[in-house]
A and B are shown apart, each in its own frame.
Chain A
Amino acid sequence: MRFLRPPERITGGWVVMTLLKIVVALFVLVGSWLTISNGYYSYSNWQAFFVNGLALGAVYALIALGYTLVYGILFMINFAHGEVFMSGAFTAFFTATWMADLGMIEANPWLALFITLLTAMLTSMSVAIILERVAYRPLRGAPRLVPLITAIGASLFLQYTFRGLYGAGVRAYPNFGLFEGSITLGFFTIPTNRAVVIVAALFLMLALYVFVEKTRTGRSMRAVSEDKDVAAMMGINVDRVIVTTFAIGGLLAGAAGILYVQIFNQVHYFMGFLPGIKAFTSAVLGGIGNIVGAMLGGFSLGILESVGPQLLLRGFEIPSPNQLKDVIAFTVLVLVLIFRPTGFLGRKENV
């Protein structure tokens, strides 16, 4: 057991850490065993938990990619990214309601969906690019705390702008009627809309991966993230690469917005806040700056949130375990940061 091997000198710190590892492991094992042996949930319940977690995780992963890309290049957390996601979702709502009024959704739902997708992704992209130009570029050389605070300010600005434009209430996204019912693949029965979300997200992530690894722009992005100055010396237009990074992050967030409203059918000016934080958590979980890490982190967090409370807490007879799902998600983050500060797949960073 590699992680339990004692070091040369047994310090108090090592004892505490090992105790912590044992307590956590016990908690997880005992809780899971109690829940499963008591048979609270059937196979279809667990399946549903898992699938819901996967779908939500897909959305988190898409938003997390935006965080991780920007961090990889600028070493800064774009806290306004949750609002970029929200702007995509709101544009989707706006376009969809407009088309519903025109009767286009009944006439040709696939075309309507395509138009909604396009407008949402374009709007998110524009918001991200404007953010970069207005809020971050002027602060390129400033100490790291400054763009962080600016990001928070930009986030608040966007939230209240959308509140001013669309009101403070919760708005319902019209149902396109395309993804009703569920699909069965062997053992698995998945609600269609969740399946669509997972497949679409995977497709986008694959596209991003291919883009970053195989294309020229992708190569420039990787070069800039490795060393900005040397990349500039090699003739790469660093500014343009940064704008491209923000644009891609925005596109993905816009897509995440559309997928999110397929599951939840609701938009609200404050909706970007919690997914933004969860996505940031996913990015850190997977190793901030690492693209595959962000994808892994997103899916893991989604599944943890969905399956965790049921699996771990129900066995201990804790009332309303669902209230604690955020606790589980963030506790995992804290534990990962304690035991593996760079995240699952994180790279070593010289701070």
Chain B
Amino acid sequence: MQKYMRWSAILAVLVLVLAACQNGGGGTDPSPGDNGNGNGNGDGGAAEQCDADEFGCVEVAEGEPIILGTALVISGPNSTLGLDTQYGAQVAAELRNEEGGVLGRQIEFDFQDDGCSAEGGTAAARALVSNPQVVAVIGTSCSSAGVPAAEITSEAGYTMVSPSNTAPSLTAEDTHQPFYARTAHNDSVQGAAMAEYACTELGAESAATIHDGSPYAEQLQQVFADEFQEQCGGTITVQEAITVGQTDFSALLESIGADAPDLLYYPIFVAEAALVTQQAAQTPGLENTQLAGADAAFTQDFVDAAGGTAEGMIMSGPDLEFAGSFYEETFKPKYTEISGEAQPIQVFHAHAFDAVNIVLAAIEEVGIEEGGTLYIPRTALRDAVLGTSGHEGITGTLTCTETGDCADPAISVSEVQDGEFVRIWP
């Protein structure tokens, strides 16, 4: 009996190991030979193009939906960021579905949670690339999740367009991934904007920063620090760091307050930002210091969590002044219909809307309809997305660079007045 149990245990372990080692690749097998031809449809038959494409094609039969994966932070203290983005994507899909879908097919989603962490991003990306019907991915929310997720999706040939990754390294020449693009601004713009505001409007001469070790926060405060020193010769008194999940910042703020900087810039996420704001209010050395945050905490959740202590705090973030009646008359009511929220809960929903529309436009461009089945070559799709030029979205006119920056960036600075965000600059 014991021998039998031992052998069946060994067998079970072997089976599990084999299952785990399954290659979670794309749709059809990648074929050897030249890369995908990336031209529009009509160039030769579908079979030919799919074979020539390095990552093959997604095959969507008649009546089947086109599936877009999402990897956004939909749980935890930053869930407003991810949910807001998801709703924006859903609005884009719904509006298109009402018009008949893309090439006659409805758009559906495979929602995943990126947890705003590297582990979450890895898990979400793996889940999506193991589904061969997923055409492209809208994600991730946080740059910390984006770094590993972009690598996984690029290795599998899945195009990923992020509506809210802002860390500069994700589209830098030497560190970007080939199948990655984003419709959110690059933080090199945001950091510079905050530095400009600090220099010109606040007249600040010294500043301190706090980041939380994530790629987003760390890179953004570094851009700010560099620009602040360059633009007006300001001094950076100290660049401190915290860990995500930390609650006690009193010692940290005391030590920052010892230098009494004019500005304290902490581009960190909701939970920690709220605590820092509350505790800064109780720190004697920071009485005359202007507190400033960035788009990671640009949500009503943050203001609520900080209680009344966020009054007078400034935040940099994407400029939400969307011109045009489309946003007010069509987008917002649809958003409310899908989400149940009276107002958008964060600032990246518009970027998600534009991201989805860029992908759908690319699908229309490269998809090959043959014999009732729609074939979407993966590399051609990526090329079409990165080739987007002059696309009129609600965040502006989008043109993608080779390394994946598609945004038409406009950063504004807002102030918390009476518990609401009010745009004050430019």
Is B80 close to A, CB under 8 A?
yes
CB distance from B301 to the nearest CB of A (A): 6
Shortest CB–CB separation between residue B213 and chain A, in angstroms? 7
18 A–B contacts, CB within 8 A, in A order? A45-B258, A48-B254, A53-B251, A168-B75, A171-B305, A172-B304, A174-B307, A175-B307, A266-B247, A271-B247, A273-B245, A306-B250, A319-B239, A320-B239, A322-B240, A322-B252, A322-B255, A323-B241
Residue A170, interface by CB 8 Å = yes
A170 with B284, Cβ < 8 A, contacts A306-B251, A326-B243 known = no
Q: Which residue of chain B is the closest to A173 with respect to CB atoms?
A: B307
Which residues does B use to contact A, with CB under 8 Å?
75-77, 79-80, 213, 239-243, 245, 247-252, 254-255, 258, 270-271, 274-275, 278, 282-284, 301, 304-308
Could you mark each residue 252-289 of chain A with 1 if its beta carbon is under 8 Å from any beta carbon of chain B, else 0? 00000000000011101011011000000000000000
Expressed in whole angstroms, the minimum distance between the Cβ of A210 and any Cβ of chain B is 30
Residues in chain A near residue B247, CB distance under 8 A: 264, 266, 271, 274
Residues of B within 8 A of A344 (CB): none
Contact with A40, one of B255, B271, B282, B301 (Cβ below 8 angstroms): B255
CB pair B248 A265 closer than 8 Å: no
A136 within 8 A of B: no
The answer to whether A266 and B254 have CB atoms under 8 Å apart is no
Q: Which of B77, B254, B301, B308 has the most CB atoms of chain A within a 10 A radius of its CB?
A: B254
Q: Contacts of A41 on B, CB cut-off 8 Å?
A: 254-255, 258
Interface string of A313-351 (1 = CB under 8 A from B): 010000110110110000000000000000000000000
Q: Shortest Cβ distance from B134 into chain A, in angstroms? A: 25
CB closest residue in chain B, given A319: B239
Question: Which of the four size classes fits the interface of chain A?
Answer: 35 or more
Contact with B along A86-105 (1 / 0, CB 8 A): 00000000000000000000
Whole-angstrom CA separation of A322 from B247 in the bound complex? 12
Expressed in whole angstroms, the minimum distance between the Cβ of A179 and any Cβ of chain B is 11
Among candidates A170, A174, A305, residue contacting B301 with C-beta atoms closer than 8 Å: A170
B213 cross-chain contacts in A, Cβ below 8 A:
323
Contact B250 A168 (CB under 8 A): no
Find out whether the CB atom of B251 lies under 8 angstroms from the CB atom of A49. yes
A297 on interface, CB distance cutoff 8 Å: no
Would A265 and B243 be within 8 Å (CB), given that A41-B258, A52-B248, A52-B250 are in contact?
A: no
Q: When A40-B258, A171-B305, A175-B307 are in contact, do A310 and B251 touch as well, CB less than 8 Å?
A: yes
Question: In the complex, are the beta carbons of B251 and A52 less than 8 A apart?
Answer: yes
Enumerate chain B residues within 8 angstroms of A174, measured Cβ to Cβ: 307
Task: Let me know if A11 is at the binding interface, CB within 8 A.
Answer: no
Least Cβ–Cβ distance between A99 and chain B, in angstroms: 16
Residues from chain A with a CB closer than 8 A to the CB of B282 are 191
CB distance from A92 to the nearest CB of B (A): 15
Are A170 and B77 closer than 8 Å at their CB atoms? yes
Residue of B nearest to A308 (CB): B251
A42 at the interface (CB under 8 A from B): yes
CB closest chain-A residue, reference B79: A168
The answer, yes or no, to whether A56 is at the interface (CB within 8 Å) is yes
State A265–B247 Cα separation when bound (angstroms): 10
Does B305 lie within 8 Å of A170, measured CB to CB? yes
Top-3 shortest CB links A-B = A320-B241, A52-B250, A322-B252
Q: Which residue of A lies closest to B252 (CB)?
A: A322
Q: Does A309 contact B (CB under 8 A)?
A: yes
Complex contact A48–B250 (CB within 8 A): yes
Per-residue contact bits, chain A 115-135, to B (CB 8 Å; 1 contact, 0 not): 000000000000000000000
Q: Which residues of A contact B79 (CB under 8 A)?
A: 168-169
Residue among B250, B252, B304, B306 with most chain A CB within 10 A:
B250
Q: Given A52-B250, A169-B301, does the pair A322, B275 have CB atoms closer than 8 Å?
A: no
Q: Which residues of A contact B270 (CB under 8 A)?
A: 169-170
Q: CA of A329 to CA of B28 in the docked complex: distance in angstroms?
A: 52
A323 to B238, CA, bound (A): 14
Q: Which residue of A lies closest to B306 (CB)?
A: A172
Q: Evaluate whether A169 and B80 lie within 8 angstroms (CB atoms) in the complex, with A45-B254, A271-B247, A310-B255 already known.
A: yes
B271 A175 Cβ-Cβ under 8 A: no
Are the CB atoms of B241 and A322 closer together than 8 Å? yes
A44 lies within 8 A of chain B by Cβ: yes
Q: How far is the CB of A267 from chain B (nearest CB, A)?
A: 10
Residues in chain B near residue A306, CB distance under 8 A: 248, 250-251
Q: Max chain B CB contacts within 10 Å: which of A40, A266, A305?
A: A266
Q: Which of A170, A314, A323 has the largest number of chain B CB atoms within 10 A?
A: A170
* A175: contacting residue among B255, B274, B308, CB under 8 A: B308
How far does the alpha carbon of A5 sit from the alpha carbon of B397 in the complex, in Å?
Answer: 77
Quote the shortest CB–CB distance from A126 to chain B (angstroms).
Answer: 25
Q: Which residues of chain B come closer than 8 Å to A309, judged between CB atoms?
A: 251
With A169-B77, A170-B271, A175-B308 in contact, do A325 and B251 touch (Cβ < 8 Å)? yes
Nearest chain B CB to A163's CB is how many angstroms away? 8
**A314 proximity list for chain B (CB < 8 A):** 255
What is the distance, in angstroms, from A299's C-beta to the closest C-beta of chain B?
Answer: 15
Given contacts A44-B284, A169-B79, contact A322 B251 (CB under 8 A): yes
Query: Which residues of chain A (1-56) have a CB below 8 Å from chain B?
Result: 40-42, 44-45, 48-49, 52-53, 56
With A264-B278, A323-B243 known as contacts, the answer to whether A172 contacts B254 (CB < 8 A) is no
**Least Cβ distance of A34 to chain B in Å?**
15
Q: Judge whether A265 and B278 touch: CB under 8 Å.
A: yes
Most buried by B among A40, A48, A326: A48
* A-B contacts besides A49-B250, A266-B247, 11 pairs, CB < 8 Å: A41-B254, A44-B284, A45-B258, A48-B284, A169-B77, A172-B307, A175-B307, A268-B271, A270-B245, A320-B239, A320-B241
